[in-house]
Chains A and B, each alone.
Chain A
Amino acid sequence: MEETQSKFTQKSQKRKFEQFGRTISFICIAFIVLVVLSILYFVISKGLSTFTTDGVSVIDFLFGNTWRPGEVGENGAPLVGALPMILGSFYVTLLSAVLATPFAIAAAIYMIEISPKNGKKILQPVIELLVGIPSVVYGFIGLTVIVPFIRNIFGGTGFGILSATMVLFVMILPTVTSMAVDALNAVPRHYREASLAMGGTRWQTIYKVVLRAATPGLLTAVVFGMARAFGEALAVQMVIGNAALVPTDLITPASTLTSILTMSMGNTVMGTLENNVLWSLATILLVMALFFNILTRWIGKKGAMKK
């Protein structure tokens, strides 16, 4: 009798414990959601006040090409055109992704299809190391190696979109590569066997079966790299020159959303237009981050549907 009773109480204790655990994890999740929502609210409401409080038109902000916050143009409207930075951000992102993609895929093919032994022993650790290097180091290397290099070849100051692209290329390469490796790894072995058994050469098998089957994963890898490039601030700021001008070529100083943000952050007063437009830039970054996120999910879903 006593035994059964103790058993019962033990059980309900377990239940209590479980309940306790659930409550804790629910609180944690609720907390995270709350933090994310408040950040969103804070950034977006501040960012919108440029348009609501200061009366800047959205068109002028997105498509205006003169960025001189604090000054007004001939028509009396503040000169807060963000187009130079928006274009700068898109240029460096796209160029670095275009550059990194073939390298990343080639490296992944080598590691998975051609020489898994060397891949695991040499390339894998190198990539993991590269992922862990802080961005200021990349920026510093860019400043001391890439900028002078480009100055020597093309003339000018060496600062500009090309330097930023090079730095971002090196920065996103390891991320894109390791995700591409995962994508190729996820291609079942029996696809390769089927192709080889039909008289496919190794290269045909890689090119026509493995890469094709891995396409959604590879796209996700590239989009991830782009998201990282788009959001990178410090390293870019160190090599791009930070001139808020619409980029006309790749080797004159330009700027990105992030570089202008980090440069100007400390120099404005809360509540002024100069400060509010920075929040508007941040809102663009946030929206883009959201866009990249949705894009990867969409690719994932498309890929899953095909299977």
Chain B
Amino acid sequence: MVTNEKIIETNDVHLYYGKNEALKGITLDFNPNEITALIGPSGCGKSTYLRTLNRMNDLIQDVTITGQVKYKGKDIYSPKMDTVELRKKIGMVFQQPNPFPFSVFDNVAYGLRISGMKDKQKIQHIVEESLKKAAVWDDVKDKLHDSALALSGGQQQRVCIARVIAIEPEIILLDEPTSALDPVSSGKIENMLLELKENYTMIMVTHNMQQASRISDNTAFFLQGHLIEHGKTRQIFTNPTQQETEDYISGRFG
């Protein structure tokens, strides 16, 4: 893969919930195999923006989207786009760990089975590999057939990440994946994401400035539906060009 080729490009994206404009013209690109952090105060549109990238906003009634979102050069909002295939390539991890009320194994195997994989051994192998990559194998290897809901929040979230990894997406969208977890669990997930970076492009919403500065390559700062500033994380955190960015970051650092 050519490194300077963008994997996702968004161009002047506006999104309206009914008449309420939640995104006011976002133009932002993402490089492959990098982690981009989306930061900004609550309600500024980070989750909304993230959900435009895998068309999850389609599920909400009365949403209007204008502008362009391209995945590998293809407009994902064109009528020809197959959203089912798209979402297999662009996985998503939610804020609240949301494993299915099934066993750990069935959770991770879910994506494989709905894609029509029948080979039991292959499924077994991929489930194990995915759980290992998500750094939760040691926690669950003895309880693969117990309900995933019996796990701790941090373990559940890592199982959810394994569930996404199993279908081998190219991009993983993460919406505040650690905000519901304790610091130790969050730390484990951060380390795991850093390892995954080799093979995946990640876009992560986070409220936690330290987290953004620790693991992301790029940072984009949102405010009230506008993209205020974006660039290399180091530069955004040490030398922001916009006053709002500086206020937000320093306010958070206290």
Residues of A within 8 A of B (CB): 188, 190-191, 193-201, 204, 208-209, 212-213, 306-307
Contacts and interface: CB of A to CB of B under 8 A. Distances in A.
A71 to B, nearest CB: 57
Interface in B108-162: 110-111, 113-115, 147, 149, 160
Nearest to B173: A197
B87 A199 contact: yes
Interface in B85-117: 85-88, 91-92, 94, 96, 98-102, 110-111, 113-115
A204 B98 contact: no
21 contacts: A190-B94, A190-B96, A194-B163, A195-B100, A196-B59, A197-B87, A197-B91, A197-B94, A198-B88, A198-B164, A199-B85, A199-B86, A199-B111, A199-B114, A200-B111, A208-B110, A209-B100, A212-B101, A213-B100, A306-B101, A307-B101
Contact of B92 (A188, A197, A204): A197
B91 A213 contact: no
A188 B94 CA distance: 14
Contacts of A200: 84, 110-111, 114
**Lowest 8 CB-CB distances: which A-B pairs, in order?**
A199-B88, A197-B92, A190-B98, A199-B87, A198-B111, A204-B114, A194-B98, A199-B84
A140 B125 CA distance: 61
B23 to A, nearest CB: 19
B94 A199 contact: no
Contacts of A213: 100-101
A149 B138 CA distance: 65
B54 A197 contact: yes
A191 B100 contact: yes
A194 B99 CA distance: 8
A115 B110 CA distance: 26
Interface of B: 54, 56, 59, 84-88, 91-92, 94, 96, 98-102, 110-111, 113-115, 147, 149, 160, 163-164, 167
Contacts of A195: 100, 110, 114
Given A191-B98, A212-B102, A199 B115 contact: yes
Given A196-B56, A197-B87, A307 B149 contact: yes
B94 A208 contact: no
B130 to A, nearest CB: 12
Contacts of B102: 212
Contact of A198 (B96, B101, B149, B163): B163
B220 to A, nearest CB: 21
Contacts of A208: 110, 113-114
A193 B101 contact: no
A208 B96 CA distance: 21
Contacts of B114: 195, 198-201, 204, 208
A191 B101 contact: yes
Contacts of B99: 194
A276 B86 CA distance: 71
Given A212-B100, A213-B101, 4 more contacts: A194-B98, A198-B163, A199-B167, A307-B149
A190 B100 CA distance: 9
A198 B94 contact: no
Given A199-B115, A208-B110, A307-B147, A194 B100 contact: yes
B59 A193 contact: yes
Contacts of B115: 199
Contacts of B147: 306-307
Contacts of A191: 98, 100-101
